[in-house]
Every structure is written in structure tokens, then in C-alpha cells.
Structure 1
Amino acid sequence: MLEFRTHGYNGYSVKYSPFFDSRIAVAASANFGLVGNGRLYILNLTADGIKPEKWFDTQDSLFDLAWSEAHENQLLTASGDGSIKLFDISLSEFPIANWSEHAREVFCVQWNLVGKDSFLSSSWDGCIKIWNPHMPASIATLPTHSCTYSAQFSPHSPNILSAVSSDSHMRIFDLRTPASASNHLTLSIPIHTPPKAQPGAPPAVGIPPSEALTHDWNKYRETVLATAGVDRLIRTFDIRAPGQGPVAILPGHEYAVRRLTWSPHLSDVLLSASYDMTCRVWTDGSAVGVGAQGVKTDPMALGGGRELGRMGRHTEFATGVDWCLFGAEGWCASCGWDERLLVWDARAIMTS
């Protein structure tokens, strides 16, 4: 396990570069993000450990970051003052672009993984904005009417995106639909709907709604997403059957789940970071019965999800986690409020 100390700054988000397996960025904030400055770290994995390549200081806290999918040296930050900044690590210490349309803290930024010509942001002001990095103003605004902690472009389509919010709903938007009164909204799924009861089983008991803090699209199954939040449970959904409720529910975390991400290598594996100071690896059970061509006969029958292992080296809230896109399928990085970035191999903690 490799470690880097972000002295004086508490980590909020960590992302591997999509271009280099040895480059990692961390968005961090002074005073736990409550007040004070932010810092964006650019780090390199070397034979002598993790070495800082560069850092940028900001006037307000940083809550998220996203590497550009079009330019290897550029990345975005989401700030507590409602701004989004674009940095180029080959240039000076100042951002090369700045956008300030959000009225509250920006908690999420993400680049369009397929189109590569746009990015999104979501905010506590109750909306998602779509941006072109070459334009001074946003190109679309999608209201959610609630604090939106997480928004994501689908990795399978440049026009579909999703969001989870404090009202315990997951929303799906399709930018190809007319900009009508629905503002491109095509689906709204109540996250806390109990799963559909199996024949002969007693009806499932619902759980009171609570804030959803994070979600992610499965990289291999284009209709499957995972969500998590304050109630400590990870849920997976198939948007082809929104009325069914969650397909899999994964309990185990002792406090809120702050971040989760599906593996870029294995279709059934995901990674989570929690306020219980652990990062955990899970399977949703969908790999059971996969045939030689990688296709399940019944993709909705995902039972058997479980925890595969946990990493408990953080000593404060674990707030960010990401998979390495390159090389062996288990390498990942995590950051937390303990001012530490950890790089580790998930395979070392996974049980069979």
C-alpha cells in the first residue's frame, strides 16, 4: 500500500488519469470543507512512492474533480463557492477557465465519457448544468428541485445522464428529447421503494427515505446503476424495470456511503467509501451463471450480492475512491478526511 499525506487539507475526491496509469489527482479542502481554501493535487506513482507533480490552491473548498476526456493535461474542479474551474497542469498556477452560474456549492463534476466534448456539474442549488468547455455559459440546465450530490453521464451514450438527490430519487435525463416542461427528464425512480416480493414470500418492508449521496453506471450493463447514501445501503437498479425497485441491496456499511464506483474491469464488482472509515469491495451477484459469451439468461435475476472485502486503513471519513483503468484489475486509490491518499490492491482484500 502506498500513501501520500495531504497535510492541512482533507480529501474529498480522487481520480486516476484516463491517459496515464501513474497519474492521480486529489481534490481537498482545509478545515473539512466547512470554511477556508481548497487544494488540487496532481500526483505521480513512481518507483520511490507517490510524488507530487504540481498543486493548485483555490480560494474556496474543493469537493470533486474530473479529468478531461479530450486533453491529457486538463481537469475540472467543483468548488464550495459555486464555481467550476478548468486547470491545465502544463501551464501556470491559474485556472484557464472559470464558470460561476451555480448559486450554491458544486458537489460533482464529470466529463462526458462518450462525446468527450462536454461536461456536467451538479449542485446544492437543485440543478444540473451541461457545459461546453469552449463556451462561457452553460448550454443546458436540468432542474431536480433538490440538493443534487451526484450526477453522471452514461458511459454508453453521450446524451443520457443520471442524478441522485437529497429527495431520495434517481433521475434519468435524455438530451435528445424535446426541451419541454419535463426538461429532458425521462425517468424518476424512488430509491427507497422496497424490492418486488418473490412469489410466496412476504411483502418487503420499505425503508424511510434518506439522502442519496452517490451513484454510478455499470460499465458493462448499460441499464444497471448503483446508488448509496445516508441509510448505509448500496442498491442496484435496472432502468428497464423501474417499478420493480432495487434489484440487489448490499448492507454492511455502518455509516453513510459517500462514494461508489463500478469496476472498469469486472461487470459485477463495485467499490465504496464510507463515513465508517472503510472502503469495501462488493459483488452484486450478477456474475453467477454468466455463460461463455458473458450474457446471463436472466439479467434481472441478480441475487447473491455480498461484500468481498474491506480496507480499514483510513482513520477518518473515507470520502473518495477510484479504480485504475490500466493494468491489473484490482488497483485503486482512496482519500479521506485523515489527510491521506492511499493506493492499494483490492485483490489483496477480496475473498473468493
Structure 2
Amino acid sequence: MLEFRTQGFNGYGVKYSPFFDSRIAVAASANFGLVGNGRLYILGLTPNGVVAEKWFDTQDSLFDTTWSESHENQILAACGDGSIKLFDITLAEPFPIRAWSEHAREVFSVHWNLVTKDTFLSSSWDGCIKIWNPSVDASLATLPTHSCTYSAQFSPHSPSMLSCVSSDSQLRVFDLRTPASASNHLTMSVPIHTPPRAKPGMAPGMGIAPSEALTHDWNKYRPELVACAGVDRTIRSFDLRMPSAGPVAVLSGHDYAVRKISWSPHLSDVLLSASYDMTCRVWTDGSAVGVPGKEGQMGDPMCFGGGREMGKMGRHTEFVTGVDWCLFGAEGWCASCGWDERVLVWDVRAIMGP
């Protein structure tokens, strides 16, 4: 396990470069993001450990970051003052090359379009998502959610589909190909706390009081599958072909809110989670039936759909707020960051049980 200390800054988001397996970005904030400056770290993995290749200071907190999918040296940062900043890490001057300031409150997530690679989105506490082109000064579209929106993403399978989760416990899906009209491209709104479908011989599940949804992620191999998690400590996955049926898998085990989840880029049934309980956990959703050693199990009665926890990493000493997989090499390396001012680079396979 490798470690880097973000001295004086508490981590909020970590992201591997889509171009280099040895480069990681970390968005961090002073004073836990409550007040003060932010810092965007560009870290390199070297034979001598993790080193800071460059960093950019901002006047307000940073809550998220994402690499450009079209330019290997450009990266976005989501700022607490409502702005989005684009940096080029090859330039000597520590200033953004572009900035946008249309959001009225904190920008909490940014995400690049993985398919067309010419647009990105942002979501904010002001209750909207905005679509941007890095070469245009104003946003291309605004999608209202009317609720504090913590996480938004483009689908990795379609350039025009995107989703978000927010404080009203709804998973929303938008399709930019549809007429804007009164729906503002909204095609689906799924109540995250719908009880799961009853299995044969079981009574229907009881509903759960809605709570804030903090994070979600599209499955990289199954275009219809999206996982969500948040304050209620539970991860749920939904099949968008039948959203009214409720979650297809429910994974419980964290002791406090789940702050970040990420599906594996290598295995269709595996995802990582980061939580305020100071742990990262690896899960299977139970869909890998028939694969030797990976059959879904119902060992935990709180888990639904055959999923289960496969391992836990507890080396952080404060809230874990970010986690991301390495896209390259062996299927297991990842990075995590947290409020303990530490970035850890580790191998998921080392914590997985049999």
C-alpha cells in the first residue's frame, strides 16, 4: 500500500488519469471544506512512492475533479464558490486556462462525457445540472432537479444520456435527444428507497424512509444498471429497463453514510464503496452466477439479490470521501482519499476474502 499526505488539506475526490496508470488527481479542501482554500494535487506513482508532480491552489474549497477525455494534460475542478475551473498541468503558471461561474451554490460533482469526449457536466447544491463544452463560454443546457444534487454522470454507453442523485432520494435519468419541452429532457425518476422485489416465498418488503442520496455510478458492462448509495448506509442497484420493480440488489454493511461508489472497469459484478465509517469495501452484486469462486451468496440476510461484501480496507482514520479504480494493468488497483489528509493506493485483491 502506497501513501501520500495532503498536508493541511482534507481530500474530497480522487481520480485516476484515463491516459496514464501512474497519474492520479486529488481534489482537497482546507478546514474540511467548511471555509478556506482548495488545492488540486497531481500525483505521480514512482519507484520511490507517490510524489506531487504539481498542484493548483484555489480561493475556495474543491469538492470533485475529473480528467479531460480528449486532452491528457487537462483537468477540471469543482469549486465551493460555484465555479468550475479547467487546468493544464503542463503550463508553468498555476492558474486555470478557463473558468465558468453560472452555478449559484457549491459545485459538488463534475464528469466528462466518455463517449463523444467533447462535453462535460456539473451538478450543484443549487438544484441543477449544467452541460458544457470546454471551448464555449456559456453552458449548453441547464437541467433542473429542484433538489441539492450531489452526483451527476454521463452514461458510459451513450453520449446523450446522463443521470443524477440528489437530496430528495431520487435517481433521475435524462436523455438529451428528447424534446426539452416541460420535462427538460427528464425521462425517468426512480425513488431510491422503493422496497426490493419479493422473492418467491417471501412477503413484500416494507418501504424505508427516504434519505439523501450522495453518490451513484453506471455499470461499465451492463448499460441498464445503475448503483446508488447515501445517508442510509445502503447500496442499491437498479435496472433502468424496469425501474418500478425496485432495486435488483441491496448491499448493507457500512456503519455510516456511503460517500462514494464506483463499479469496477474490469469486472461487471464488482464495485467499491467509500464511507464515513472510515472504511472502503468491495462488493459483488451477485450477478456472476456460474463463474467459479464468484457465485452470489446470501450469507448476510441484510443483502438482497445474492450480493455480498467481499472485503474491507480500514486504514483511513477519518471519513473516506473518494475512491477510484485504475483503468490499466491488473484488475484491482485503486486509490482512496479522506479527511485524514491521506491518499492511499492499494490492491483490492489483497483485502478480498475467498
The bucket for the TM-score relative to the shorter chain is: over 0.9
**Cα distance in 2 between the residues matched to 1:238 and 1:100:** 35
Q: Which residue of 2 aligns with 1:339?
A: 341
Read off the aligned partner of 1:211 and give its amino acid letter.
Answer: E
Residue 162 (structure 1) aligns with: 163
Matches within 5 A, 1:192-207: 192-207=193-208
1:66 correspondence with 2:66: yes
- For 1:12, the equivalent position in structure 2 comes to 12
Match of 2:297 in 1: none
For 2:352, the equivalent position in structure 1 comes to: 350
| 1:83 equivalent in structure 2 | 83
Q: How does 1:169-318 map to 2 (within 5 A)?
A: 169-289=170-290, 303-318=305-320
Q: Distance in 2 between matches of 1:341 and 1:84?
A: 23
Give 1:23-102 correspondences, 5 Å limit.
23-91=23-91, 92-102=93-103
Report the alpha carbon displacement of residue 290 of structure 1 after superposing the two structures with TM.
5.9
Which secondary structure state, in structure 2, belongs to the residue aligned with residue 319 of structure 1? strand
Count of residue correspondences: 342
Secondary structure, counterpart of 2:32 in structure 1: helix
1:325: which partner in 2? 327
The 2-side partners of 1:245 and 1:127 are apart by 25
Distance 1:346 1:290 in 2: 19
1:303 CA drift (Å): 2.5
Aligned-pair CA distance for 1:82: 0.2
Name structure 1 gaps, 5 residues minimum: 292-301
Provide the residue aligned with 1:299 in structure 2: none
Deviations 1:116-172 (A, max 9, x none): 000000000000000000000000000000000000000000000000000000000
The DSSP-based 3-state class of the residue aligned with 2:310 is strand
Gaps of 5+ in 2: 293-303
Q: Deviations over 1:76-95 (max 9, x none)?
A: 00000000000000112100
2: CA distance, partners of 1:195 / 1:281: 21
Which amino acid in the other structure matches residue 215 of structure 1? H
CA distance in 1, matches of 2:150, 2:250: 21
Q: Is the 8 A contact 2:4 2:342 kept in 1?
A: yes
Q: Distance in 1 between matches of 2:4 and 2:318?
A: 15
**For residues 181 and 173 of structure 2, what CA distance do their matches in structure 1 show?**
15
Structure 1 residue 123 corresponds to structure 2 residue 124: yes
Work out the CA distance in 2 between the residues paired with 1:82 and 1:231: 27
Report the secondary structure of 1:164's partner residue. Answer: strand
Equivalent residues of 2:10, 2:31 under 8 A apart: yes
Deviations 1:189-231 (A, max 9, x none): 0000001222331110111000000000000000001000000
User: 1:298 corresponds to which residue?
Assistant: none
Tell me how far apart the structure 2 counterparts of residues 49 and 198 of structure 1 sit (CA, whole Å).
49
Amino acid corresponding to residue 183 of structure 2 in structure 1: S
Q: What letter matches 2:18 in structure 1?
A: P
TM-score, length-normalised on structure 1?
A: 0.96
CA contact (8 A) 2:250 2:305 kept: no
- Please give the alpha-carbon distance, in whole angstroms, between the structure 1 residues aligned to 2:291 and 2:217: 22
Q: Alpha-carbon deviation of 1:271?
A: 0.3
- Distance between the aligned counterparts of 1:192 and 1:76, measured in 2? 32
* Contact 2:78–2:85 (CA under 8 A) maintained in structure 1: yes
Report the AA paired with residue 303 of structure 1: G
1:140 aligns to what?
141
Which whole-Å CA distance do the structure 1 matches of 2:324 and 2:6 have between them? 17
How far apart, CA to CA, are the structure 2 residues paired with 1:325 and 1:203?
Answer: 40
8 Å contact kept, 2:9–2:29: yes
Do the aligned partners of 2:45 and 2:51 also contact (CA within 8 Å) in 1? yes
SS at match of 2:7: coil
Alpha-carbon offset, residue 289 of structure 1? 2.9
Following superposition, the deviation at residue 304 of structure 1 comes to 1.2
Output the CA distance in 2 between the equivalents of 1:239 and 1:75: 31
Distance in 2 between residues matched to 1:147 and 1:243, nearest whole Å: 23
